[in-house]
Every structure is written in C-alpha cells, then in structure tokens.
Structure 1
Amino acid sequence: MLTGLRLENIALIERLELAFSEGFTVLTGETGAGKSILLDALDALLGGAQGSQGARLLRRGAVRGRIEASFRLAPPLLEWLERQELEAEEGELLLSRDWRLQDGRLTSRHRLNGLVVSRTQVLDLRPLLLDLTVQGQTQQLARPGQQRRWLDRFAGEGTATALAATRAAWRRWRQQADALERALADRERSALERARQEELLADLEAGGLEDPQERQRLQAEQDRLAHGVRLQEGVMTLLGRLVEGAEGAPSVLDHLAACDQELQTMAGLDAGVADLQGACADALARLQDLSRDLDRYGALLESDPESLALLQERMARLKALERRHGQELPELIALRDRLRQALGEGGSEAALAGLQAAEAAARQERDRANALLSRARSAAARTLEDQLMEALRPMGLAAVRFAVELSPAEPGEEGADAVRFLFSANPGQPLAPLAEVASGGEMSRFLLALKTCLAAADPHVTLLFDEIDTGVSGRVSGAMAQLLRRLAERRQVFCVTHQPLVAAAAHHHFRVSKSVVAGHTHTRVSHLRDTAERQAELAELAGGDTGEAHSYAASLLGSGNPLAAASTDPAASHPGPFEQPQQQHGDGGGEQHRQQLGRPQGRQLQNAADAGDRQQQQPEPQAEAGHGRGDGAAAIPVQPHQAAAGEQQQGEHQTAA
C-alpha cells in the first residue's frame, strides 16, 4: 500500500508531500492542473521516464529533482527483499529516485531504504507495488504475450506452478537441442571440406609419419654415412702410398726396406753406422704397423652409398611435407591424428545417436509440461470469461460477449499457447479481437473489469486508474464508481477522474489546481475533508457554480455518506505533521526542505495510516448516495470508511514552478 509521496522539482511541482490511506482515493481538477503528474511521477519512480522523458519530467530551470514514496510492507514485498538480500525497515519500504543535470547530461539513481539499487531491480519490484491503467490502453493489449500474461495472473498459483515447470522443461530441452544441432552441423559439413580433409589425411598417411624426432635422427645418420665414405677414401689413399705404390712404382715401405738393406751393408763395413741402421729398421717397423692399423680401420668403416641416397631422399620428402603444410613434423603428426578422429565413423555416430535420444526425451518432457499448462489455462479462461462478463454487464454492456481464445503456438519458455481476447459489445456482432473492435469507452470498461478480476491474484498491489472513465455516460460512470468502490474494499485504489459520480464514491478526495502569481505557476493539492469542500468540487465537475449543480452534488454525497461525517471528527481540526504548506523562500528554504526529505518521514506517514486503520474498525451505518439528474441518478452504494488520521493530517500543499 502506498502511504506517502514526496516530490521535489518535478514538472510543475517544486515541492509536495502527501500522505495516503487505504480505500478509494480520487484526484480531480481542471484539465492541465497537473493531476496526472502524480501518476507520471510514480511511473518514473518505478523505472519509467528514461532519456528525454526524464528530461521533460525535471522542473524547468532545476538541476536536481527527487521522487520518494513509502509503501507498507506486504508478504510478497518481504519475500522479494529476502531474495534481493535487502533489509526491511520497521514495516516500511522507502523507494526514491534522484535526478541530476550536469554539463547538459541528465543522470538518475534509484535507492531502496537508502541503498542504491539498479533500474532492473526496480522494474522487477514494480509489479508488487503498483498497477497503472490509462484510458484506451490498446497498446498494452497489442503487446505480444500480454493477454497470455493477464490470463496467467488471473489463474493464480496453480498455473504459476505449471508455468514454472514448463519453463524448466523448456530450458532442459533447449540445452539438448542445441547440443544435437551442433553435432549435426559437425557431421554435415560440406562435401568439399570433407574431401579436402580426406586429401590432407591421405597425404600425411603416405608420408609414413610416426616419430616426431625422425628428422634429427636422419640428419645424424646422414652425417655418419657421408663421413664414412670420405674416411674410407683416405685409408685407401694412405695404404696405396705406404704399401702398394703408384702404377707399379715402389711404395714407401719398399723404399724404406731398401734403405734398411743398404744401411745393413754399410754397418758391415763400418760399425759406426749400426745406430743409423737401427733407427731405419725401427722406422720401417713402425710404418708396417701403421699400414696394418690403417687396413684394420678401413675394414671397420661402413660404406653404403645406396643407404645414403635413400636416407637423403627420405629427408627431402619430410622437408617437402613441412613446407607444403606450413608446419613442422610434430605438428603434422598431431594434425594427422586429429583428422583420423574427425573423419572416423564409429565413435561419432554413437555419440550422435546418444544426443538424438536425449533430445527426444527432453522434448517429450517439454510437451507434457506444455499440455498440463494448456489445460490449466483453458480452465482459467472459462472462469475469466464468466467473471469478466458479469463485471461488464452493469456498465452499460448488457449484451456483451467475451471469450478467451487459446490456439496452438510454437513451443517456447511460456508454453505452447497463443492467447487472444475476443469481444463483442452488441447483439449480432461476431466476436473479434478486443484491440481491433472495442471503442475507447468500451476499452475503459473492459480494463476496469479486467483489473477487478485480477485483483484476487494481487491483493497487495495498489491500483491506479488515469481517467479510465473518460467518454462514458453518467449511468455507466455510476456503475464504474460502484466497481471501483467495491475494488477498494480489499486494496488501495487511486483514480484520476472528471466524473462527479466516480468522485462521490471515493473514500478520500484530493483536488489539484494551479494558479499563476508574479509570472510563476503554483500547483496546489488540497485534501477535501469535509462535505462542503467535496460538494463544491463535485458541483464544479457537474457543470459549474450553479444551484442545480450544487443540488446534484449534495444528492451524490447525501447525509448518510461517511465521508461527509469525516469532517466532524475532532482529529480533523488539528493539523498533522504534513499540514504545513511547502513554500520556497530562497536557496536556504530549498536546502532545509532537502534535509527534511532525508528524514524518515515515511514512517510517520505509515503510523498515521495505521491510526486510520484503527478508526476504520469502528462500526458505521450503511449509507447510500442520493439521486441526481438524467443518467447521473444511478444510486451508488457507499461502504463505511472512516477518514484515516493520515488523511486528516494531510493539508494543502502549494508548489511553484
């Protein structure tokens, strides 16, 4: 329940503070006075007025603006706060939004109980606080899925459970379907791509690639073979010179043996040559040993030119593979292994079959959940049809027909139903989509009847109607007034109206007016607490300051109306904490007011409303409105509702722009 609203530098309003109570509250006043500003402010507070809309909302010439509202906590709000890990303060939720204009750029910030929150959080919270309905709301009706969402809200907890199960089943199926689609896409690659991969694999397979270090091993073997030939050639050259000689000529050993023979002869002639002969004999023996060693070394050397040629051919092939594919041997081996796996048949087909089975099972589960949800929606649709027509018939639509059409739709997270509201206001007129055939007045009545039917699903949400009774006759507006009054028995209802019959049915009545003083526009919001004030305003709505209009207004209120008796309550004569008018007195006054807005005034409003609740428990006699003229003569049953202390404390608030 909305307990308080504070505005600063919003549209035509410089400063304003209001306290609200339970029941049915109306706002009246001449066109352009600013009645809808209050509803626009609440819309902006709860996540609306983005971009240029926010710039238009800020009062001209102001660089800062603020909207603050206090709400009485209800169980759904407490659950939401718990999910968001936010704390509730003394049974109250205080929501604010501040705007700041700096360097031509407008920014805003939301706070909840003093803590900064995101706009996404506020939009998530909004349906738990307020439901705003405007006249001719055809755009909302045409919004995809809106009529289905209304049906689900009406259906209540049973459908909510089925819807949650449907969403969970849909997500599981979507996950399996995505996995299957990816697998099928992998298998069904283009024939050209598969052929390219097969050709690449064949090339790599033909290369006989096994050892990532094969090139290094072949290089070492090639070096060994190549040096072996050269060494063998050297051994042969040395042996040829030492032992064999060239072309039959004596070898080195032959010459040295001849030298040794000659020295032996000389030593026989001269004993002094014996040492020389010994040295020559020793040299000859050493060369003979060397020749034998060279022969043995040559025998150990392997000379295989064919092996070397094959080895060099293999190395050239490996180099060609690396150059052709731009990768080294280890990377080519890894690529070949990946291609073998990708182009293999057995494993991939088995995996694909498993994915297909999992998707089919998830699809069956999804379809079962959709069927259960469709049955729940169908049952709720029949009930909604009956209740809505029952609510519409007293509002000048005696021959109305209404049907909720459910047709199969592509399965989605919200089920597999397309929902359309079909409407016929006149006999002989076929049922047709509501948004296409309903007039503005018919749409207003339909939306009011719909919100009445939805009320049971959201008993804690405050309903706001902006001129929803525009374009209807007096008799119809009387029926709408009765419906609004009944709707307010279990919830808080606000209505901006120009209809005296609707205004007379309210528990609380605020008048919005404006005036221009010294070139400045002043907006005044007055809480009409006594019968005389209300009668004067109803007379103005009925046609002006005439005797006939005043008589008509008096007949609407009647002496038995508890609202007329509210002004006699002793508490009404004493101003409350919000009775003092807010006026601007230079910059100091504005700063003082900003400090006041920062105080926990919302809790004072809450306490005032609680005091009103205690007063409402006092028994009141049943009252009934009198009769007026023409269509306006329809009787409006008025339920007992004592004025709350919060509204008794509410004074007039003058604002300047």
Structure 2
Amino acid sequence: MLTGLLLQNIALIESLELEFSSGFTVLTGETGAGKSILLDALDAVLGGAQGASGVRLLRAGSDRARIEAAFQLSPALEQWLIGAEFDPEEELLISREWKRQEGDRFSSRCRLNGSTVNRQQLLELRPLLIDLTVQGQIQLLSRAGQQRLWLDRLGGSSLAEVKAQVADAWTDWRVAADALIALEQEQQRFEQERAEQEQQLEQLQAADLEDPDEQQRLEHEQDRLVHGVRLLEGLALLFGRLRDGADQGPSLQDHFSASIQELQAMAQLDGSLEPLRDQALDLGAGVDALLRSLDQYGLALESDPDHLERIQDRLSVLKRLQRRYGLDLAGLILRRDDLLHRLGAEGFAADLARLHQDENDRRQSRDQANAALHRERSNAAEALEASLLELLPPMGLANMRFKVDLTPCDPADHGADAVQFLFSANPGQPMAPLTEVASGGEMSRFLLALKTTLAAVDGSSTLLFDEIDAGVSGRVSGAMADLLQTLARQRQVFCVTHQPLVAAVADHHFRVSKHVEDGVTHSRVSRLRDTQERRQELADLAGGNQADAYAASLLDQRTA
C-alpha cells in the first residue's frame, strides 16, 4: 500500500508531501492542473521515465529534483527484499533524485531504504507495488503475450506451479534437441570430409600415441643428453672430491673414514660419544650411497650414443602433428580415439540413436506438461469469461459477448497456447480480437473489469487508474464508480477522474489546482476533508445550473 509521496521540483510542483490511506482515493481538478503528474511521478520512481522523458518531468530551471514514495510492507515485499539482499524495515522507501551536471545534462540515482538500487531491480519490484491503468490502453493489450500473462495470473498458484514445470520441461527438451541437431550437423560435415578424416586417423595411428606426457618426458631427456659433456665434467669433479681425492690429496670419503675410526676409539673411552659416532656412521653411509647413485647416473650418460638422435626424431614427429591439427599431445590422442569411433562399423549411429531417444523422451515430457497447462488455462478462461460477463453488462454493455480463445502455437517456455481475447459489443456482430474492435470507452470498461477480476486472486499492489472513466455516460460512470468502490474493499485504489459520480463514492478526495505567481505556474494538491469542500468540487465537475443540488445529492447518497 502506498502511504506517502514527496515531490520536489517535479513539473509544476515546487514542493509537495502527501500521505495516503487504504480504500478508494480520487484526484480531481481542471484539465492541465497536473492531476496525472502524481501518477507519472510514481511511474518514474519505479523504473519508468528514462533519459529525456525523465528530464522532462523536472520543473523548468531546476538543478535538482526528487521523488520519494513510501509503501507499507507486505509478505510478498519482504520476501523480495530478502531475496534481493535488502534488509526489510518498517516501511519501504524508494527515491529517485536528478542532479544537473553540465548544461542540460542530468544524472539520476535511485535508492531503496537508502541503498542504491538499479532499474532492473525496480522493474522486478514494481508489480508488487503498483498496477497502473490508463484510458484506452490498447498498446498494452496488443503487446505480445500480455493477454496470456493476465490469464495466467487469474489461474493462481496451481497454474503457476504447472507453468514452472512447463518451463523446466521445455528447457530440458531444448537442450536435448540442440544436442541432436549439433551431432547431425557434425555427421553431415564428417561424411563430406570422410577421406580427409581417414587420412588423419592413419597418420595418428602411425605415430603410436599413448602417453599424453611423452613430449614433456622426451624434452627432459633431450636436455640431459644435449648437456652430456658438461654433466660428465661435473661427475668427474664430484668423484675427485668425494672419492678419488684431488692433487693426490685425501678425498672426502678418506676424511670420513679416518674421522669415524677416531670417534670409535674415543667412544670406547667415553660412552657419551656413541650417539655422535652413530651420526658419523650414518653420514658415511650416506656418502657411499651418493657415490653409488652418481656411478649409475654416469653409466646412463655414457650408454647408447644414438639415443639423442632418436629422441629428437620422435619430438619432431610429435611437434609436426601438433602444428598440423592445432592440438596438444593429449588432444591428438583424443582426436585419434574419436576418429576410431566415428569411422568404425557403427560410426555416429549409436550416438545418434541415443540422442534421438533422449529428444523424443524430453519432447513427450514437454508435451505432457503443455497439455496440463492448457487444462489449467482453460479453467482460468472459463472463470474470466464468467466474471467479465457479470461485470461488464451493468456498465452499458448489456449485449456484449466475450471469449478467451486458446489456439495451439509452437511450444515455448510458457507453453503451447496462443491466448487472444475476443469481443463483441453489439448483437449480430461476430466476435473479433478485442484490440481491433473495442472503442476507447469499451476498452476502459474492459480493463476495469479485468483488473477487478485479477485483484480478487493475486497480489497486493496499489491499483491506479488514470481517467479510465473518460468518454462514458453518466449511467455508465455510476456503474464504474460502484465497481471501483467494490474493488477498493480488497485493494488500495487511486483514480484520476472528471466524473462526479466516481469522485462522490471515494473514501479520500484530493483536488489538484494551478495558479500563476510572478509569472510562474504552480500546481497545488489539497485534501478535501469536509463535506462543503467536496460538494463544491463535485459541483465544479458537474457544471450546469443545478450543479450544487446535484453534488449535494451525490454526497447524500454516499452517506445514506
């Protein structure tokens, strides 16, 4: 529920702060006074009026402008806030502020309870807050899928649950179908290039590829052999110092042997030296093991002088294949195995058979889900037809006929139904698409009846009607007033109107007027709290010689 609205430097309004209550609220005033500005402001603060259209809302000459709307929290709002990682507070406060940058360029920023919020988030949140309807809303009715969306809303939670299953089933089928199409296209390309594929397989098999790490291992071995002379020199130096001795001097091994003998003799005299003697023995054994390993390494360096040439030849084969096919060694092995499979006796047959079966199974699941959704929509269509056939006749459409036409269409994530509202206002006229045959006044009444029907089954958003009663007779406007009054028992309702019959039944009445001060036009919004003020405004709306008496009778009927 909308509880407050603040405007600063918006259109003809310099500064305005309003508080609202539940029930039915009307805004009246002369044409051009700025009644629709309030609805435009709500649209702008909730993600509408982008770019130049947003700047046009600003009061001429202003460097800053601000709109702030306060809403009472509902369970659906709290759930959305938690899901979007906003902390729910006592009320929901959404603001939008414009600030002049350079010249005529303005920046715009939106906030939710003080935290920055983006337009996409506001558009997701908007249906939970307001539902705006304007007179002759043919564009919305003509929008692709809009009539289907309204019908689905009427279906409630049971239809929504089936619709979610349809979306999942369609996604599963789409993935399976795309996989099948991709493999069929691959098979077609493969058959066109079969001779080339067979040549590839022959080359890859001839290369005897088995180990994806072979190249790395061979390159390490190559480096070792290429540096063989330097490695042999290093071995000789190590043996000279560790075992043979340098310049006829004792080696490290000789020094260790003498040191161990001395420690053994000392340990016989002092037992506390035995751990040190053991450490020396371990070190000596370690030196011996090191020398044996170096001997083995030296033998490997000196054996098979043709080994380096064989390694280099093998590396040349591997690198040539990698350049030709643009794959590393592991990729070449996978490519060979894939070619073996594709060019084998079964080729693509096994994979195609599996994907065909998977696609068929998914398609059947998709079609079953679509059939279940069609049944739910048929039930919702019957309910909508019954409701509109009850609500519309009292509004001057006694002979109207209405039908929800469900026809098959290509399956999608929303099902396989094309939804179209068919309408006839007069006897003898065939039913035709609503958007093609309904007049502006008929469209207004239809939208009001539709929103009344939807309000009974979903959501808690505030309903706003902008001159939806324009172009209708007094008798029809009275029926529309009764319907708006009934609707306001379930939802908060706002209506911009010129009809005294509609304004008279409202719970709250605001008058929008304009005046000129120092050559500048200003709009003022006043709440009409007493009967005299309301009677005068109703008389102004009615006009004519008997306007005062007529206005008084309307208020008397309301209080009766």
TM-score of the superposition, structure 2-length normalised?
0.77
- Shift in alpha-carbon separation, 1:147–1:209, aligned structure 2, 3 A: closer
Q: Distance in 2 between matches of 1:416 and 1:203?
A: 51
- Shift in alpha-carbon separation, 1:506–1:186, aligned structure 2, 3 A: same
The answer on whether the counterparts of 2:169 and 2:369 sit within 8 Å (CA) in structure 1 is: yes
Q: Distance in 2 between matches of 1:357 and 1:209?
A: 35
Correspondence for 2:306:
none
Correspondence for 1:554:
552
CA drift of 1:435 comes to: 0.1
What is the DSSP-based 3-state SS (H/G/I as helix, E as strand, rest coil) of the residue aligned with 2:512?
strand
CA drift of 1:210 comes to: 9.1
The answer on whether the counterparts of 1:510 and 1:525 sit within 8 Å (CA) in structure 2 is: yes
- Shift in alpha-carbon separation, 1:197–1:7, aligned structure 2, 3 A: same
Q: Distance in 1 between matches of 2:386 and 2:404?
A: 10
- Shift in alpha-carbon separation, 1:173–1:324, aligned structure 2, 3 A: closer
Correspondence for 1:448:
448
Counterpart amino acid of residue 188 in structure 1: Q
- Shift in alpha-carbon separation, 1:344–1:44, aligned structure 2, 3 A: farther
- Shift in alpha-carbon separation, 1:188–1:326, aligned structure 2, 3 A: closer
Correspondence for 1:99:
98
CA drift of 1:7 comes to: 0.9
Q: Distance in 2 between matches of 1:325 and 1:163?
A: 52
Question: Percent identity among equivalent residues?
Answer: 61
- Shift in alpha-carbon separation, 1:208–1:26, aligned structure 2, 3 A: closer
CA drift of 1:86 comes to: 2.0
CA drift of 1:348 comes to: 4.3
CA shift digits 1:574-618 (9 cap, x unpaired): xxxxxxxxxxxxxxxxxxxxxxxxxxxxxxxxxxxxxxxxxxxxx
Correspondence for 2:284:
none
What is the DSSP-based 3-state SS (H/G/I as helix, E as strand, rest coil) of the residue aligned with 1:50?
coil
Correspondence for 2:542:
542
How do 1:235-254 and structure 2 match up within 5 A? none
How do 1:224-263 and structure 2 match up within 5 A? none
CA drift of 1:326 comes to: 4.9
What is the DSSP-based 3-state SS (H/G/I as helix, E as strand, rest coil) of the residue aligned with 1:133?
strand
How do 1:109-188 and structure 2 match up within 5 A? 109-188=109-188
Q: Distance in 1 between matches of 2:469 and 2:210?
A: 87
- Shift in alpha-carbon separation, 1:453–1:333, aligned structure 2, 3 A: closer
Correspondence for 1:466:
466
Correspondence for 1:430:
430
What is the DSSP-based 3-state SS (H/G/I as helix, E as strand, rest coil) of the residue aligned with 1:60?
coil
Q: Distance in 2 between matches of 1:538 and 1:465?
A: 19
Correspondence for 1:645:
none
Q: Does 1:9 align with 2:23?
A: no
The answer on whether the counterparts of 1:132 and 1:463 sit within 8 Å (CA) in structure 2 is: yes
Q: Distance in 2 between matches of 1:99 and 1:323?
A: 63
Q: Distance in 2 between matches of 1:93 and 1:25?
A: 21
Correspondence for 1:520:
520
Q: Distance in 2 between matches of 1:102 and 1:374?
A: 53
Counterpart amino acid of residue 556 in structure 1: L
Q: Distance in 2 between matches of 1:382 and 1:159?
A: 14
Q: Distance in 2 between matches of 1:329 and 1:536?
A: 87
Gaps of 5+ in 2: 223-308
- Shift in alpha-carbon separation, 1:333–1:520, aligned structure 2, 3 A: closer
Counterpart amino acid of residue 536 in structure 1: Q
What is the DSSP-based 3-state SS (H/G/I as helix, E as strand, rest coil) of the residue aligned with 2:406?
strand
Counterpart amino acid of residue 92 in structure 2: L
What is the DSSP-based 3-state SS (H/G/I as helix, E as strand, rest coil) of the residue aligned with 2:15?
strand
What is the DSSP-based 3-state SS (H/G/I as helix, E as strand, rest coil) of the residue aligned with 1:491?
coil
What is the DSSP-based 3-state SS (H/G/I as helix, E as strand, rest coil) of the residue aligned with 1:65?
strand
Correspondence for 2:497:
497
Q: Distance in 2 between matches of 1:333 and 1:378?
A: 57
- Shift in alpha-carbon separation, 1:190–1:557, aligned structure 2, 3 A: same
CA drift of 1:345 comes to: 5.0
Correspondence for 2:264:
none
- Shift in alpha-carbon separation, 1:337–1:487, aligned structure 2, 3 A: closer
CA drift of 1:324 comes to: 13
Correspondence for 2:384:
384
Counterpart amino acid of residue 551 in structure 1: A
Q: Distance in 1 between matches of 2:552 and 2:498?
A: 17
Correspondence for 1:475:
475
What is the DSSP-based 3-state SS (H/G/I as helix, E as strand, rest coil) of the residue aligned with 1:189?
helix
CA drift of 1:191 comes to: 4.1
Gaps of 5+ in 1: 221-310, 563-622, 624-657
TM-score of the superposition, structure 1-length normalised?
0.66
The answer on whether the counterparts of 1:322 and 1:328 sit within 8 Å (CA) in structure 2 is: no
